[in-house]
Copies of this chain bind each other. A is one copy, B any other.
Amino acid sequence: MLKVVSSEEAFEIISENLTSVYVGTERVSLGDSLGRVLSEDIISRENIPAFNRSTVDGYAVRASDTYGCGESIPAQLDIIGEILMGEGADLSVGDGQCVKISTGGMLPEGADSVVMVEHTDNSFDSLCLVYKAVSPFENVTAKGDDIKPGATVLRKGTRITSRHTGILASLGIKEVSVFMKIRVGIISTGDEIVPAEGETPVGKVRDINSHILSALMSEKGCKCTGYGIVKDIYDDIYDAVLRAVKENDIVLISGGSSAGTRDMTAGIISSLGETYAHGIAVKPGKPTIIGKIDGKAVFGLPGHPAASYFVCLRFVVPLINMLYGIKDNTRAVKSKILRNISSNHGREEIVCVKLSDEGAEPVFGKSGIISLLSESDGYIIIDRNREGLRCGEETEIHLF
């Protein structure tokens, strides 16, 4: 029983049926957190900075003491001491007083601003002449200016990048709770498939999919296990699927590009669990199967490497993001298409593009052509309700 769905229906199927896959959590050190996905909100328990901090070298003052001063009528303040870098300020600045301070130094009590050293003259022993007025909090990062206690600084579902490690370190966080890496089992099927390494007998084809799918899933934060190349034999595929489902959260079965093998894969998924879609109206990638076995997501992917890659990018990666709770992972940008593209009405189409200053140049090729992938900068998705794109049209480019 064939059930070809649209890509919208496929997304619905995935979010309704497959997001119940359970992903555990673990605690990792800040140093090991890069690339992992937060499984908790990070809430500050502190003020950052923890104290009023000078952003310049100069004199900590009461701003009101400088009002009205200028080049010709300097304010005269008594220097009552110096704040040493990294030391608490046990001085208190009163009316007509000031304290020497360095960039990063802690403002003493009573002071509310800092006069830059360039705007002072301290050649009179303990007297400081101020030639430029400051307003309260001028040249100061106030306590809590950056982060206040109770503030949610990072949300669950954030994939940690270098930019996030800064905020975690600033809060003194040693460890964070992250999602366990989603385990993806990868099975290559096909009588014609041989291991990628080495020579290929006549009529055979190298196993590209195991490599490209494993690399893509690794990039998206998954832990991949290969289950080798399985011949187009029902029992062999059945056994491999059973084993992969047991040991993983998501199973990808690539190959079986011919209708007969596709049906076999679909039959195996149905016999062990449920099949929701047998074909998606998308090019490349039509022979895609979506199913579930024992609460685990199972995808039957096309045999052609580029098709397999795109189906994975278009349907499996969104599932991974849903499971990790990653909200917005798009990198779409707008660009002009430099050529007419015709597409099949009723079927969504993915076309690779190369970007230049002029716009996006479509890179055409049959779905088996793997070299196109490495030459492109991104891809466009032509809606199934469109009959193509006109040259010059502004289009959303999904960057790789």
Contacts and interface: CB of A to CB of B under 8 A. Distances in A.
A320 interface: no
B167 A374 contact: yes
A218 B399 CA distance: 22
Most buried by B among A198, A232, A257: A257
Interface residues of A, number: 89
Contact of A86 (B146, B193, B334): B193
Interface stretch (A44-52, A61-69, A338-346): A44-52
A314 B59 CA distance: 32
B89 A218 contact: no
Interface of A is mostly: loop
A84 B168 CA distance: 59
A227 B381 CA distance: 48
Interface of A: 30-31, 34, 48-51, 53, 55, 57, 83-89, 102-106, 141, 145-147, 153-154, 161-170, 172, 174, 190-193, 196-208, 210-212, 214-216, 218-219, 232, 257-260, 303, 305-306, 309, 331, 333-334, 365-371, 373-374, 376, 399-400
19 contacts: A34-B215, A55-B367, A85-B258, A86-B192, A86-B205, A88-B202, A89-B203, A104-B257, A105-B203, A147-B371, A154-B374, A163-B309, A166-B212, A166-B373, A167-B370, A169-B212, A174-B197, A174-B198, A333-B333
